[in-house]
Amino acid sequence: MSELPSIITDNPTVLGIESSCDETAVAIVRGDRTIIAERIASQEAEHAPYGGVVPEIAARAHAERLAPMLEAVMADADMTLEDVDAIAATAGPGLIGGVMVGLVSAKALAMASDKPLIAVNHLEGHALSPRLADPDLGFPYLLLLVSGGHCQILLVEGVGEYRRLATTIDDALGEAFDKTAKILGLGYPGGPKVEKLALTGDASAVSLPRPLKGSKEPHFSFAGLKSAVLRAYDSGEHRSEDIAASFQQAAIDCLIDRLSHALKDLETPPSLVVAGGVAANTAIRSALEAFANKHHMRFAAPPLALCTDNAAMIAWAGCERMPLEQSDPLDFKARPRWPLDPEAEKARGAGVKA
Ligand code: KG4
Ligand code: ZN
């Protein structure tokens, strides 16, 4: 492999590509936090008949949409590849077919333009996204990363310095929202639908468990909560809106309990930050903000569009890495599993994602 192209470290302009799940997205972001252009196409309609993301359909849809979207974003920005300082793409974790579409495209663009390639960990994109929106958010911060595939508490000490304090031993929280939506017949994607229905329900109407609440181990568990939702529904004794509200409250209680546990081991409570798709949930954001206020922690949550999957966060992760002179070779391998903190101890349970 030839030498890596040189890196512009001062206020770089980065083209970012995201294709790890069911959103095809392209963005151009500058180091001064300007989102110069951005497009995103959801595949909701393609996956809705199946009640969840079908990997093969997702990969095909990314392959069809990505090239025209790249062209459109460059046109929106009135830029050519010459005006871009690096090409960043999600290289994992995620559905391998989709990741490969985005990563291979980024490699081709990097090779054609002789610009550096930045292979971004999708979780790093989420983890740094709050700093794109909030210039005053410095390191370190305690990050609650809650998405469709992950539920983790991380101590973010700097770019590339992530210490995982907790993870889920079974389902991710977004997954639990999606399954609850499926049980209640709300359709896909479920999180926003459960949140909306919960607004009209009574959160104390259905008695649901808070798995691992009070446990000495730091982790999350949501499988038992999901099964309890199914039992409550099957009993025929409860209104759907009450089940949705009670489920959401149980989830919030678990998040707060596990964050309290994580705080115990930290000398100075840093800022509290939430990111990932589930961070779009207003009830969860409010509960976390109240928790942060109680503990005299600064609270930050990205705007809703930066919570769910997007390419601006991937381009931004590229901007963050440029000053560290970190780029990747053109033979970088897509990684369907890619932990942010490889040193983290394995949590018990087999279903740990990433
Ligand atoms: O980060 P994301 O877009 O994709 C992954 O990397 O997984 O997160 C998607 C997840 C889905 O499970 C979706 O149901 C959930 O985020 N989600 C929500 C809300 N909006 C999206 N969950 C609860 N409330 C919401 N408003
Ligand atoms: Zn995500």
* Tens of pLDDT, residues 243-286: 999 999 999 999 999 999 999 988 887 899 999 999 999 999 99
CA 317 vs. chain centroid, Å, equals: 13
Pairing mode, strands 141-146 and 271-275 = parallel
Candidates 112, 21, 87; CA nearest to 58 is 21
Pairing mode, strands 117-121 and 86-92 = parallel
Report the atom number in ligand 1 closest to the C-alpha of 282: 26
Residue position matching structure tokens 């989102």:
35
SS (H, E, C) 143-187: EEEECCCCEEEEEEEECCEEEEEECECCCCHHHHHHHHHHHCCCC
**% of the chain at pLDDT higher than 70:** 97
Cα maximum dimension of the chain = 67
Candidates 226, 228, 231, 118; CA nearest to 173 is 226
Q: What is the pLDDT of residue 350?
A: 44
Mean local confidence (pLDDT), 70-88: 98
51, 182 in Cβ contact below 8 A?
Answer: yes
Separation of alpha carbons 2 and 70, rounded Å: 26
CA 234 vs. chain centroid, Å, equals: 32
Band of residue 354 on the pLDDT scale cut at 50, 70, 90 = very low
Mean pLDDT score across all residues of the chain: 94
Q: Find out whether the beta carbon of 149 lies less than 6 Å from any atom of ligand 1.
A: yes
Report the atom number in ligand 1 closest to the C-alpha of 149: 7
Q: Find out whether the beta carbon of 21 lies less than 6 Å from any atom of ligand 1.
A: yes
CA 201 vs. chain centroid, Å, equals: 28
Find the ligand nearest to 252 CA.
Answer: 1
Band of residue 2 on the pLDDT scale cut at 50, 70, 90 = low
Contacts of 169 (CB under 8 A, 6+ apart): 212, 219, 220, 221, 347, 348, 349, 351, 352
Question: Which amino acid appears at position 172 of this protein?
Answer: A
Substitution site in 143, 150, 177 for ligand 1 pocket (most atoms within 8 Å of beta carbon):
177
Separation of alpha carbons 37 and 298, rounded Å: 30
Report the atom number in ligand 1 closest to the C-alpha of 189: 14
